[in-house]
């Protein structure tokens, strides 16, 4: 429980929070608990935008923000914390300035760093509640494990395209019972590649606003002790058909942290745990693929050389921007094998060069191609270095 004996409010604060103070079940005691609370928001992006603004507006006394990123123009479709003037600047600084201007009565602390196994315990230990608004499986497991090891509540939300999830993990109820955590729900992550990130898979703009707002309210409930937090439950929202479900989550006796026979007592290497290939390994595999850069592609075109250019992106990406390649989406590449030349150079490209490298490896292994070249940097590099009039996405 958060101690509130020494918490007082100025006249200005009383007036600011008056709509909370007149809710009978919340009143000044709830507000005192909010002011005493220390909440760490991990990730100041799609979920972080509503989280940070509502937590600050509501009067959470100390808010920490962790992020290592800078604001990009493509963030503004959903990260309503930022404006055009924020582009290129550190997210934590822009977020802190925004919420401090919204509420000067709170303390804001920033960590312009990537949360890792080396710093997570040190950062999280000073907070009561963590709100996880990150965007990848290794960090999800890291946040969970650090919260479990330190006994902190982990208020979780996650989104993908039109679908979102919310839960409250590692919550201790009034009887002292600790609720389930993320590993009880998902003992192991899906294999890399099955669930793309928002950067690869897309997300509808309003969705993080909805889920992040629910997450913010769960933080306020946990901090104030008002209501019944979403512990032991998983809320699912599918915006496509406006369906919602609330499922039960149980403690798993095989949980390596909190099960019957715990085997894990410290943080681990989460990148390895999630099977995300280390950069060196990826580099080694890609190093064996033949490549051309965008300038060479232009030279070949201008010289009228005989070659084939293949675009392995999706049709809807082709519509956004293309460089006149033949469209053969990666997922259906086997159906196009008859159309991929074996007797002349074939340049394969995608958005950034990653998917085309995968396609080349596949075609070389499965069909014995030896005339395939990856276009380094894909259409992004082409837009940067050859034709700046092309949009990047």
Partner 1 sequence: MAKIIVPTPLRKFTQNQTSVETGGNTIKEAIGSLVTQFPDLRQHLLTKEGSLRTFVRVYLGEEDIKQLEGEATPIQSQSEISIIPAIAGGKA
Matching residue, tokens 């309003």: 206
122 φ, ψ (degrees, to nearest 5)? -65, -40
* Catalytic residue status for 147: no
Site string for partner 1, 311-350 (x = CB under 8 A): --------------------x-------------------
- Tell me how far apart the alpha carbons of residues 36 and 189 are, in angstroms, rounded to a whole number: 35
Sites for partner 1 among residues 137-156 (CB under 8 A): 137, 139-140
Sites for partner 1 among residues 249-308 (CB under 8 A): 249-250, 252
Which of 178, 266, 223, 306 shows the shortest CA–CA distance to 4?
223
Identified catalytic residue from 198, 276, 323, 360? 198
Identified catalytic residue from 350, 359, 375, 383? 350
Rg (CA), the chain: 25
Smallest separation, CB 244 to partner 1 (Å) = 11
234 interacts with partner 1 by CB under 8 A: yes
> For the chain, how long is the longest CA-to-CA vector?
81
Smallest separation, CB 173 to partner 1 (Å) = 20
- Can you tell me which of 2, 185, 216, 220 binds partner 1, judged by CB under 8 A? 185
Minimum CB distance to partner 1 smaller for 222 or for 234: 234
Q: Are 256 and 263 in contact (CB under 8 A)?
A: yes
247 interacts with partner 1 by CB under 8 A: yes
What is the chain's length?
Answer: 393
Sites for partner 1 among residues 158-177 (CB under 8 A): 158-163, 165
Smallest separation, CB 169 to partner 1 (Å) = 14
DSSP 203: B
- Tell me how far apart the alpha carbons of residues 238 and 157 are, in angstroms, rounded to a whole number: 13
201 interacts with partner 1 by CB under 8 A: yes
Sites for partner 1 among residues 23-62 (CB under 8 A): 43-48
Smallest separation, CB 135 to partner 1 (Å) = 4
How many residues interact with partner 1 (rule CB under 8 A)? 55
Smallest separation, CB 258 to partner 1 (Å) = 16
Q: Are 261 and 193 in contact (CB under 8 A)?
A: no
Minimum CB distance to partner 1 smaller for 122 or for 254: 254
Q: Are 351 and 313 in contact (CB under 8 A)?
A: yes
- Tell me how far apart the alpha carbons of residues 218 and 200 are, in angstroms, rounded to a whole number: 29
In the chain, at which residue ranges do the beta strands (DSSP E only) sit?
38-42, 62-66, 107-111, 129-132, 153-160, 163-169, 233-238, 243-248, 291-292, 308-311, 326-327, 346-349, 372-375
218 interacts with partner 1 by CB under 8 A: no
Smallest separation, CB 14 to partner 1 (Å) = 34
* Residue 247: C-alpha distances to residues 177, 231, 316, 331, 375 (Å): 19, 11, 34, 33, 46
115 interacts with partner 1 by CB under 8 A: no
Catalytic residues: 198, 350
**Binding footprint of partner 1 on the chain (CB under 8 A):** 43-48, 67, 69, 132-137, 139-140, 157-163, 165, 185-191, 194-199, 201, 203, 208, 211-212, 234, 236, 238, 240-241, 245-250, 252, 331
């Amino acid at each position: 429980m958060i101690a509130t004996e020494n918490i007082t409010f100025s006249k200005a604060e009383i007036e600011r929070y008056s709509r909370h103070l007149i809710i009978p079940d919340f009143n000044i005691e709830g507000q005192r608990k909010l002011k005493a609370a220390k909440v760490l928001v991990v990730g100041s992006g799609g979920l972080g935008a509503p989280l940070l603004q509502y937590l600050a507006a509501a009067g959470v006394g100390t808010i920490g923000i962790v992020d290592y990123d800078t604001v990009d123009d493509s963030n503004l479709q959903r990260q309503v914390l930022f404006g055009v003037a924020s582009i290129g600047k550190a997210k934590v600084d822009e977020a802190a300035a925004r919420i401090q201007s919204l509420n000067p009565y709170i303390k804001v602390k920033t960590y312009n760093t990537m949360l890792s196994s080396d710093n997570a315990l040190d950062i999280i230990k000073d907070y009561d509640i963590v709100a996880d608004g990150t965007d990848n499986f290794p960090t999800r497991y890291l946040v969970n494990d650090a919260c479990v090891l330190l006994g902190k509540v982990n208020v979780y939300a996650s989104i993908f395209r039109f679908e979102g999830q919310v839960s409250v993990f590692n919550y201790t109820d009034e009887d002292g019972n600790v609720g389930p955590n993320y590993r009880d729900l998902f003992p192991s992550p899906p294999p890399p590649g099955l669930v793309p990130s928002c950067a690869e898979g897309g997300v509808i703009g309003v969705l993080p606003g909805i889920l992040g707002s629910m997450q913010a309210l769960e933080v306020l409930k946990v901090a104030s002790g008002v209501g019944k937090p979403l512990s032991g439950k998983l809320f699912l929202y599918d915006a496509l058909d406006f369906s919602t479900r609330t499922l039960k989550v149980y403690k798993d006796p095989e949980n390596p942290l909190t099960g019957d026979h715990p085997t894990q007592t410290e943080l681990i290497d989460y990148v390895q745990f999630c099977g995300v290939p280390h950069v060196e390994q990826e580099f080694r595999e890609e190093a064996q693929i033949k490549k051309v850069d965008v300038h060479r592609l232009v030279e070949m075109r201008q010289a009228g050389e005989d070659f084939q250019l293949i675009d392995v992106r999706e049709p809807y990406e082709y519509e956004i921007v293309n460089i006149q390649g033949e469209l053969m989406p990666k997922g259906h590449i086997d159906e196009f094998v008859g159309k991929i030349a074996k007797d002349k150079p074939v340049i394969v490209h995608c958005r950034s060069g990653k998917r085309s490298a995968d396609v080349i490896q596949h075609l070389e292994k499965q069909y014995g191609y030896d005339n395939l070249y990856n276009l380094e940097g894909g259409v992004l590099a082409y837009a940067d270095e050859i034709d700046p009039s092309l949009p990047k996405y």
